[in-house]
Amino acid sequence: MSRLALCATFAALLATPTVAQGVFVPPPDAVMGGEVDRGLTGQRARLARELPHYGYGNVDVARLSERKVALIANSISAGRSFNYTSARIGSILRGGGLLQRAIDGL
């Protein structure tokens, strides 16, 4: 019986802070990407939110080609290290030369 009372008391203590909060305060626009991706939808909106994290906040995502958008999105979701992903995004944005096109083809 004491085990049941202990479990009930513990459950009540865990539930109390959730009930006590009461008011939801939405995060500011900067956190939600309100200013960054205004007018963009889909993959371009996601890239507009992600690129500042990798140091490319000044990129106009609306003017990128579909190929570059797809390559950058693939690089971000590839699961590689931060430095690799950042360097890869930089090479995609620069356009690359013959060697880069050969590497992209692999």
* pTM for the model: 0.57
Residue found by looking up tokens 């590497």 in the block? 103
Q: Is residue 19 situated within a structural domain? A: no
Residue 6 inside a domain? The answer is no
What domain range includes position 53? 24-105
Residue 1 forms part of a structural domain: no
Residue range 60-87, pLDDT digits in tens: 888 889 999 999 999 999 989 999 999 9
Q: How far apart are CA 103 and CA 67, in angstroms?
A: 15
Q: pLDDT for 16-67, tens place per residue? A: 655 555 666 665 555 555 555 567 888 898 998 899 999 988 888 888 899 9
Distance from C-alpha of 106 to C-alpha of 69, rounded to nearest angstrom: 19
Q: Report how far Cα 28 is from the mean position of its chain's Cα atoms.
A: 16
Give a yes or no: residue 2 inside a domain.
no
First to last CA, the chain: 67
pLDDT of 20? 53
Number of structural domains in the chain = 1
- 8 A C-beta contact, residue 51 and residue 89: yes
Please tell me which residue, 20 or 90, carries the higher pLDDT value. 90
Average pLDDT, the chain: 79
